[in-house]
């Protein structure tokens, strides 16, 4: 005898039809909630971007990119801060990305669930959740206080420590998603394990790995606290990584809290430059990855 369920209208429905109707309603509810969450996130991001454009575009002039930081009313720019940020961020990725990639490959391909792998994974997760100011203090005690002066190298080291755990986690997760059959096929063809990992696994997961590198760049580009304890800042031109070096986040921090209108304008424009820089890097790398797949 087929079981029936009485609906709200009083009609008797077979239990299978009732379950199908409930699943459809649940699916529609989940879809609506997903769209609502997406709209909230997009509206918040759009609001932030609109605020940056509205307040930052008036100060986006050629002087901003050709003149170094100056006194209030002197018509200075942020050229030295932009160059300092590029140098420190670039060096931090050059230091952190290889170490993070190799560590992620070890955890995914060699370490498995060994004690060493669990210890490395635990330390990486701790660094991932550590406040940036603590990392800055650690590098200060390691590279600033013993030498008696701030430096761009110390700033890059602090940013590299922050970038590494992001790259480690994404590299490990992306490599674990590569099917085992691809590894077995490479080994069956006689390729050594390192070639299988490098030319098959890493190549198959390169999109996700590059996303992790981009996330690391996006995080370290806007960090201020670690640089206050390491590279400190410099209002003059300086390409010497052994000396205090200007950076865009520190300049924004200094200018945003000032009482001078031109400095506040430059703070808004600097924040816009950082945002647009990260956006351009994401677009260029993603287009390059898609082009390489064709």
Contacts of 241 (CB under 8 A, 6+ apart): 87, 91, 151, 152, 153, 156
Least Cα distance to 248 among 119, 117, 80 occurs for 80
Angle formed by the axes of helices 206-221 and 79-105, to 10°? Answer: 140
Helices (H) and strands (E) in the chain, counts: 13, 2
> Mind listing the pLDDT tens digit for each residue in 233-256?
988 888 999 999 999 999 999 999
63-293: CATH architecture: Orthogonal Bundle (1.10)
Check residues 134 and 7 and name the one with the higher pLDDT: 134
To the nearest whole number, what is the mean pLDDT of the chain?
A: 89
Render 139-158 in DSSP notation, one character per residue.
HIIIIITTTTS--HHHHHHH
d(CA 155, CA 144): 10
**Residue 106 carries which DSSP code?**
I
pLDDT at residue 281 tops 90: no
User: Which of 36-40, 125-129, 232-236 is predicted most confidently?
Assistant: 36-40
Q: pTM for this structure? A: 0.85
The neighbouring-strand residues paired with 14 are 4
């Amino acid at each position: 005898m087929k079981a029936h369920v009485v609906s709200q209208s009083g009609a008797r429905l077979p239990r299978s039809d009732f379950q199908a109707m409930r699943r459809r309603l649940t699916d529609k509810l989940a879809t609506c909630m997903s769209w609502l969450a997406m709209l909230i996130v997009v509206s918040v991001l759009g609001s932030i971007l609109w605020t940056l454009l509205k307040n930052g575009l008036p100060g986006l002039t050629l002087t901003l990119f050709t003149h170094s930081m100056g006194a209030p009313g002197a018509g200075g720019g942020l050229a030295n801060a932009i160059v300092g940020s590029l140098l420190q961020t670039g060096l931090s990725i050059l230091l952190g990305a290889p170490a993070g990639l190799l560590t992620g490959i070890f955890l995914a391909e060699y370490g498995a669930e060994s004690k060493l792998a669990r210890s490395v994974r635990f330390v990486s997760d701790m660094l991932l959740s550590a406040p940036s100011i603590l990392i800055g203090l650690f590098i200060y005690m390691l590279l600033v206080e013993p030498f008696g002066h701030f430096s761009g190298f110390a700033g890059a080291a602090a940013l590299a420590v922050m970038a590494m755990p992001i790259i480690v986690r994404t590299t490990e997760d992306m490599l674990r998603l590569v099917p085992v059959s691809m590894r077995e096929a490479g080994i069956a063809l006689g390729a050594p394990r390192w070639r299988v990992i490098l030319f098959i696994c890493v190549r198959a997961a390169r999109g996700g790995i590059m996303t992790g590198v981009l996330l690391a760049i996006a995080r370290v580009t806007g960090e201020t606290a670690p640089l206050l304890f390491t590279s400190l800042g410099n209002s003059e031109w300086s390409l010497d990584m052994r000396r205090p070096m200007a950076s865009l986040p520190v300049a924004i921090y200094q200018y945003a809290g000032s009482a001078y209108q031109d400095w506040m304008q430059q703070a808004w424009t600097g924040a816009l430059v950082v945002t647009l820089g990260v956006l351009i890097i994401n677009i260029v790398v993603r287009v390059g990855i898609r082009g390489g797949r064709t």
